[in-house]
Amino acid sequence: MTAHQNLFDNSSDWLDHTLTNASSSLPASATRLTDGASITRSTVGVLELHPSPGRPNPNNEALIVSAGVHGNETAPIEVLNGLVNELLNGDWELACPLLLIMGNPPAMVAGERFLEANMNRLFHGAHNKPEYRELPEAARARQIEALCREFSATHSGKLSHYDLHTAIRPSRREKFALYPFVAGRQVEASQCDFLLEAQVDTLLLQHKAGTTFSSFTSSVLGAESFTVELGKVQPFGQNDLTRFTGIRDALRRRFRGAAAPMPKAPFADMTVFEVVHEILNTGKSFQFHVPDDVANFTEYAPGTVIWEDGATCYRVGDIPEAIVFPNRDVPVGQRVGLMIRARKAVSGA
Ligand SMILES: O=C(O)CCC(=O)N[C@@H](CCC(=O)O)C(=O)O
Ligand SMILES: [Zn+2]
């Protein structure tokens, strides 16, 4: 039996197996590659990979890479699946521990962002809130948190997490990363270099901790974590994967333990924004004045009214602000968008 068959039964690959078994709870299954590396499918859509024992881990690191936390954001899922196929084909050898996650398999099958609740609002303990705790997406977030805790506890190297997404709207900046807020923390220059290597040239600094997957891994596990937006949402099979070679090649380089390309001066080519305001749906009287089809990073002049609800009215401050992730169609209390501002000093975040 091949390594492939051990892990994925009769399915053609990891993605096929995950879609076929999206709602099943299968027992774990493991295999060993010819170089001695091991791969365990811990549960549907989750692979834990270890290099051959004794093999050097030159970058002294462990990585969590996730995609499909939103089921309709398919390009990063295809990228991750392609890298797993390369490894199983013996195209390259693994040098560092990896936890690879397809976040929400039932939503992937349905081609939807989520089925009952937005899973990327259910991390950092939010899955235990009474209104969510019985939902399948809360159970999946809880299971993923437990697998990440276990993975992080067993690896001493530096832990990074890249949660890969694509955006609903068009974007004036196609690829950008969000850096979750952790008090007193600054983006490491090496992370900035990695993002640039992946052709992600815009960084957005969050202003408070949230309930996203990357916020959980950074706040609770101390990982260097990013939500990475890589393009626009498309159904499976309709992605132009030539637009995703930057992230594919940069991840493969890390998985193989190869050295980073020549580092640039930190932030030299990175445009940095900071979040100045999180727009929340405040309820019945909430009015959002940003049109439905506006692109991410569309700028608004000082004084523009962005939203109001009778009690509060949010206007752009003295410096222009741009909108990211405008989406009025969210439950009360959830994020309708982020107002961001270019950061003045770019000598360090
Ligand atoms: O395009 C959109 O409106 C959403 C794209 C997306 O899923 N973005 C993430 C960002 C998470 C973060 O703030 O780190 C999300 O909304 O969950
Ligand atoms: Zn997403």
Query: What ipTM was assigned to the predicted interfaces of this complex?
Result: 0.97
Q: How confident is the model at residue 286 (pLDDT cuts 50, 70, 90)?
A: very high
- pLDDT confidence tier of residue 346, bands split at 50, 70 and 90: very low
Distance CA 248, CA 242 (A): 10
Going by pLDDT thresholds of 50, 70 and 90, the confidence category of residue 264 is low
Note the helical H segments in the chain: 3-8, 14-20, 75-88, 105-110, 136-153, 189-197, 213-221, 245-255
pTM, two decimals, is: 0.96
For the chain, what is the mean pLDDT?
94
73 is in an annotated binding site: yes
For the segment(s) 3-255, the CATH number from 3.90.550.10, 1.10.3720.10, 3.40.50.1370, 3.40.630.10 is: 3.40.630.10
Q: Are strands 29-32 and 38-43 parallel, antiparallel or unpaired?
A: antiparallel
Q: What is the pLDDT of residues 53-108, one digit of tens each?
A: 999 999 999 999 999 999 999 999 999 999 999 999 999 999 999 999 999 999 99
Q: Which of 291, 278, 275 is nearest to 328 (CA)?
A: 291
Q: What is the percent of the chain with per-residue pLDDT over 90, rounded to a whole number?
A: 91
**Whether the Cβ atoms of residue 85 and residue 8 lie closer than 8 Å to each other:** no
Which residues does ligand 1 sit against, CB inside 6 Å? Answer: 70, 120, 165, 167-169, 178, 212, 214, 227, 325, 327
Catalytic site residue from 78, 145, 224, 229: 229
Structural domain boundaries in the chain: 3-255, 276-342
User: What is the residue type of 202?
Assistant: T
Find tokens 């360090």 and name the residue. 348
Record: fold of 276-342: OB fold (Dihydrolipoamide Acetyltransferase, E2P) (2.40.50)
User: What is the separation of C-alpha 265 from the centre of its chain, rounded to a whole number of angstroms?
Assistant: 25
Query: How far away, in angstroms, is 165 Cα from ligand 2 center?
Result: 4
